Amino acid sequence: MFENLSDRLERSFKILKGEGKITEINVAETLKDVRRALLDADVNYKVAKQFTDTVKAKALGMDVLTSVKPGQLMVKIVHDELATLMGGEAVDVQISGNPAIILMSGLQGSGKTTFSGKLANLMKNKRSKKPLLVAGDVYRPAAIEQLKVLGEQIQVPVYTEEGNKNPVQIAQNAIKQARQDGNDLVIIDTAGRLAIDEQMMQEIKAIKDAVNPQEILFVVDSMTGQDAVNTAKEFNDRLDFTGVVLTKLDGDTRGGAALSIRTVVNKPIKFVGTGEKMEALDVFHPARMADRILGMGDIVSLVERAQEQYDEEEAKRLQKKIAKNQFDFNDFISQIQQIKKMGNLKELASMIPGVGKAIKDMDIDDNAFKSIEAIIYSMTPKERTNPEILNGSRRQRIATGSGTSIQEVNRLIKQFDETRKMMRMVTQAKNPARMMRGIK
Ligand code: GDP
């Protein structure tokens, strides 16, 4: 799946290999290549352009991280944008009604009947549902037969009315039957045509109006590329469907449909079919699909870790300030915020070997920082940058302003002074020559 696109993208990133940093010129060159790769994969022209424009803006605006290379950073940006393009978050199917009703739509041969079976199978096994499959294709006896065979295979009942040519009636009767039999999910397969057809649209619309389904899924063959996107648009204009199912992703698809459909119809892709077997169904996860397209998961997580870690530039800036004895309350509070960002304090501390057991029953929580923050926020900007001026009356004012006591304020200032002294010693220890010379 997507092999060609994956290869092409990987080659595009090579342009940045050996480059020291991301610039207008090397980004433009890389993205020209990326855009060509997308167009060759049958991605809609407008979608491809919008995509590369967004990636460009992000790449040029990105913070410089010295531990990752420009090529790696670009892989990460493209990965995230691919995921966004495909919808960002996974969107689940609505199965909350009783019975919940799911209506299928799509062209003949797109894989509707197969998908109906797969979905029933998934709901039965993974969601403990009791589905009823409904054969709504009144024109092709073979289609009814196909659904019956699938139903038998997965042990799910199939509702049919042979001879009845009214699919609306069949759907309504099936729902009645489901209520009687305690089936909490009704999956209605419908008739398709080889191409968009007015009568087919009217028929599905009539079923929709009559049974008011929670979900109308549009099933489309991903191998049909741009056509898939055009068909999706026409079905959506008429039916306002709730989600897309991409089938035959196991084949030699170029990926265009997967990448363009979401943007063009603004409806989530909910499932992908990856084979003819009943188990060959995946819930659609945009980020995982982006991983598969790029095939460079390790680089993506490397950049993620570097971005999550301490901000290097900020660390360098701080080090300079400490060395010059300029570390102030603004830096102190930004340190606290860094620590808070890392998550639960107790959890963090417990990761230090030997500490976990010792703090098990201790009361450390993130509120520990609350009064410290309140005190610092009650200082004037001048006091924060020049803690030396904090005399008795200023301390009293801060205590009142922050709702704490003068003792707490005194304690914090003392802690701050000690921290500052210690930090200075540590930075100087890294430079023994300076220490020996006693340079302050
Ligand atoms: P319908 O006319 O929309 O109901 O389409 P069908 O369910 O009959 O599917 C048409 C053909 O595509 C059948 O031969 C299916 O076995 C095949 N098919 C459906 N889904 C997939 C899939 O995800 N992968 C592959 N390889 N074949 C599929």
Kindly list the distances between the CA atom of residue 103 and the CA atoms of 33, 222, 412, in Å, as whole numbers in the listed order: 41, 20, 64
Measure CA 158 to chain center. 36
Give the distance (Å) from ligand 1 centre to CA of residue 130. 24
Give the distance (Å) from ligand 1 centre to CA of residue 275. 8
pLDDT of residue 439: 37
Tell me if 105 is assigned to a ligand binding site. no
The answer to whether the CB of 139 is under 6 A from ligand 1 is: no
Tokens of 318: 């701080």
The answer to whether the CB of 248 is under 6 A from ligand 1 is: yes
Report the distance separating Cα 163 and Cα 156, nearest Å. Answer: 22
The answer to whether the CB of 251 is under 6 A from ligand 1 is: yes
Do 154 and 141 contact (CB within 8 A), yes or no? no
pLDDT of residue 356: 47
* Nearest in space to 203 (alpha carbons), one of 152, 238, 229: 238
Ligand 1 atom closest to Cα of residue 281: 23
DSSP state of 15: T
The answer to whether the CB of 117 is under 6 A from ligand 1 is: no
Report the distance separating Cα 42 and Cα 257, nearest Å. Answer: 7
The share of the chain scoring above pLDDT 70, in percent, equals: 83
Shortest-distance Cα residue to atom 16 of ligand 1: 276
| Candidate from 65-74, 125-134, 242-251, 252-261 with smallest mean pLDDT | 65-74
Shortest-distance Cα residue to atom 26 of ligand 1: 275
pLDDT of residue 296: 60
Task: Decide which of 330 and 131 is more confident.
Answer: 131
Report the distance separating Cα 166 and Cα 164, nearest Å. Answer: 6
Mean pLDDT of the region 175-197: 91
| Average pLDDT over the chain, rounded to an integer | 83
pLDDT of residue 107: 93
pLDDT digits (tens, 9 = 90+) for 201-228: 999 999 999 999 999 999 999 888 888 8
Tell me if 106 is assigned to a ligand binding site. yes
Shortest-distance Cα residue to atom 2 of ligand 1: 109
Ligand 1 atom closest to Cα of residue 116: 7
Give the distance (Å) from ligand 1 centre to CA of residue 89. 26
Local confidence band at 418 (pLDDT 50, 70, 90 cut-offs): confident
Mean pLDDT of the region 264-285: 92
> How many Cα atoms within 13 Å fall on the side-chain side of residue 218?
27
Local confidence band at 301 (pLDDT 50, 70, 90 cut-offs): low
pLDDT digits (tens, 9 = 90+) for 97-118: 889 999 999 999 999 999 999 9
ipTM surpassing 0.95: yes
Q: Is residue 166 over pLDDT 90?
A: yes
Mean pLDDT of the region 391-396: 96
The answer to whether the CB of 118 is under 6 A from ligand 1 is: no
Q: Is residue 440 over pLDDT 50?
A: no
Q: How many CB atoms lie within 10 A of CB 256?
A: 27
Tell me if 133 is assigned to a ligand binding site. no
Tell me if 415 is assigned to a ligand binding site. no
The SS3 of residue 18 is coil
The answer to whether the CB of 182 is under 6 A from ligand 1 is: no
> How many Cα atoms within 13 Å fall on the side-chain side of residue 351?
6
Strongest mean pLDDT among 165-169, 248-252, 338-342: 165-169
Name the pairing type of β-strands 269-273 and 281-283. Answer: antiparallel
Report the distance separating Cα 220 and Cα 235, nearest Å. Answer: 11
Q: How many CB atoms lie within 10 A of CB 166?
A: 13
Tell me if 302 is assigned to a ligand binding site. no
Domains of the chain: 3-89+296-303 (1.20.120.140), 100-284 (3.40.50.300), 312-437 (1.10.260.30)
Do 105 and 218 contact (CB within 8 A), yes or no? yes
Do 122 and 114 contact (CB within 8 A), yes or no? no
Q: How many CB atoms lie within 10 A of CB 417?
A: 12
The answer to whether the CB of 110 is under 6 A from ligand 1 is: yes
The answer to whether the CB of 113 is under 6 A from ligand 1 is: yes
Report the distance separating Cα 414 and Cα 395, nearest Å. Answer: 12
pLDDT of residue 212: 95
pLDDT digits (tens, 9 = 90+) for 303-356: 665 666 556 666 677 778 777 878 888 888 877 776 666 555 555 555 444 444
Q: What is the DSSP string of 93-153?
A: ----STTEEEEEE--TTSSHHHHHHHHHHHHHHHS---EEEEEE--S-HHHHHHHHHHHHH
The answer to whether the CB of 222 is under 6 A from ligand 1 is: no
Q: Is residue 438 over pLDDT 50?
A: no
Tell me if 113 is assigned to a ligand binding site. yes
